[in-house]
């Protein structure tokens, strides 16, 4: 269902998206939000996240719905030679091929970039997302978000001091890889404007997760000390932590002496400014337990929402701790266009705000194979040819078991 005209920054760009689960689909959704035409090609059983519920809407999980808007869907069996021929015909018009098959799969099918695609489609950008890449000690091994969090050190720095290694409660490796992959595609598109040539983008969950280990890897490299969990506190800044108030828990961040002094004044504790335990950020980090006790002695007498408002108006970084419902309902979420509704669809909006080409929602998340006929007609396939491919189950408009 097309809901609005395409005025996005990537209008006219075509992405063939073979990816499933999270990182690749999130990348495709970002590109689609900003005008790229995203054709989601699903295997016969469909993107497995359609089943990752509850909750569901009309048999598709909320998990799937969250990262698959602004796409059209068709089913295609790439294990069959006829299916690969269909894909090759479509790639003749494509700007980007996005996939997250296990390394070696595309090559096994005769669709490898260096062996086939580069020669056939010299301007094509082929973006592969994998767990660890195709070579090296862990090359070719499967990788899921939590596995990579564990291996890239995230578990070791998450949780309270002394707690067991803990997974981050977001799929931040997958979604971060989706963001990095979007950047990589845009970089390759920009370079292609100069060279006229496409290229292969080797994106891995492992690389992206390691690159996000800030400040823990720099801290280790320059101290030799292995970082551990610090709970909600920051290893390099204090105060930067959760604090109890009379009514709710809040988070306060004061990253420099000026902010620290203003915080003390606003809490009517100017005595802490000259306290030698808290004179510099280094002192405050080394004495963070004493600092937290002193701040909470003042905050526990105050309404949390009221102090958040007054500290924020004073120019300090502070905020109440919200649950998901409070985030969705918050007036600033709505003001920023980060809560959208279209018919049955409820989701976050795009965080990328462009003044002239804002993008938006053109297609709701598609049912499996809903656009198969329409898509292939756009690529010059005859109706009889499409029906024949459906009869032989090369093309699919219903999920297979």
Q: In angstroms, rounded to a whole number, what is the distance separating the alpha carbons of residues 269 and 210? A: 41
Domains defined for the chain, CATH in brackets = 14-212+336-396 (3.40.50.10540), 240-329 (3.30.1540.10)
Residue 1: pLDDT over 60: no
* Distant-in-sequence, close-in-space partners of 174: CB < 8 Å, separation ≥ 6: 21, 22, 23, 26, 145, 205
Q: 10 Å Cβ neighbour count for 253? A: 16
Q: 10 Å Cβ neighbour count for 198? A: 23
The full length of the chain comes to 401
- What are 242-286's pLDDT values in tens digits? 999 999 999 999 989 999 999 999 999 999 999 999 999 999 999
> What are the contacts of 111-120 at 24+ separation with CB within 8 A?
111/78, 111/84, 111/87, 113/200, 114/200, 117/91, 118/198, 118/200, 120/88, 120/91
- What are 218-227's pLDDT values in tens digits? 999 999 999 9
Catalytic-role residue among 95, 174, 241, 371: 174
For the whole model, what pTM was predicted? 0.94
- Verify whether residue 174 is a known catalytic residue: yes
- What are 135-191's pLDDT values in tens digits? 999 999 999 999 999 999 999 999 999 999 999 999 999 999 999 999 999 999 999
pLDDT at residue number 4: 54
- Roughly what angle, to the nearest 10 degrees, separates helices 23-33 and 172-195? 50
User: What is the chain's mean pLDDT, rounded?
Assistant: 96
For residue 94, what pLDDT band results from cuts at 50, 70 and 90? Answer: very high
Q: For residue 291, say if its preceding peptide bond is cis, omega within 30 degrees of 0.
A: no
User: H/E element holding 341?
Assistant: strand 340-342
* Torsion angle defined by CA atoms of residues 326, 327, 328 and 331, in that order, rounded to the nearest 10 degrees: 90
pLDDT at residue number 224: 97
């Amino acid at each position: 269902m097309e809901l609005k005209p395409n005025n996005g920054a990537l209008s006219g760009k075509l992405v063939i998206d073979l990816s499933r689960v999270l990182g690749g689909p999130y990348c495709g959704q970002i590109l689609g939000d900003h005008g790229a035409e995203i054709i989601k090609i699903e295997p016969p059983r469909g993107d497995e996240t359609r089943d990752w519920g509850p909750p569901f809407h009309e048999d598709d999980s909320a998990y799937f719905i969250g990262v698959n808007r602004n796409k059209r869907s068709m089913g295609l069996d790439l294990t069959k030679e006829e299916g690969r021929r269909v894909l090759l015909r479509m790639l003749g018009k494509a700007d980007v091929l996005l996939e997250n098959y296990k390394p070696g799969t595309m090559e096994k099918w005769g669709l490898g970039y260096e062996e086939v695609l580069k020669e056939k489609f010299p301007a094509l950008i082929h973006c592969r997302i994998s767990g660890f890449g195709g070579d090296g000690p862990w090359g070719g091994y499967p990788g899921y978000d939590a596995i990579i969090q564990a291996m890239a050190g995230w578990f070791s720095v998450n949780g309270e001091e002394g707690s067991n290694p803990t997974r981050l409660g977001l799929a931040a490796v997958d979604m971060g890889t989706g963001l990095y992959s979007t950047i990589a595609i845009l970089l390759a598109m920009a370079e292609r404007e100069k060279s006229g040539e496409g290229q292969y983008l080797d994106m891995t969950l492992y690389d992206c997760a390691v690159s996000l280990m800030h400040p823990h890897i720099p801290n280790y490299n320059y101290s030799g000390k292995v970082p551990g969990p610090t709970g909600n506190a920051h290893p390099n800044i204090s105060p930067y932590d959760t604090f109890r108030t009379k009514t709710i828990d809040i988070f306060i961040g004061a990253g420099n002496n000026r902010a620290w002094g203003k915080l003390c004044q606003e809490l009517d504790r100017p005595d802490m400014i000259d306290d030698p335990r808290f004179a510099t950020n280094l002192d405050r980090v080394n004495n963070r337990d004493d600092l937290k006790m002193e701040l909470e002695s003042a905050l526990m007498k105050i309404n949390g929402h009221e102090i958040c408002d007054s500290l924020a108006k004073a120019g300090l970084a502070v905020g109440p701790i919200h649950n998901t419902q409070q985030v969705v309902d918050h007036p600033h979420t709505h003001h920023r266009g980060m809560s959208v509704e279209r018919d049955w669809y409820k989701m976050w909006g795009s965080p990328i705000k462009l003044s002239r080409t804002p993008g938006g929602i053109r297609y709701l998340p598609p049912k499996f194979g809903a656009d198969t006929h329409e898509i292939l007609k756009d690529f010059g396939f005859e109706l009889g040819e499409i029906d024949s491919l459906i009869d032989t189950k090369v093309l699919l408009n219903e999920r297979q078991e």
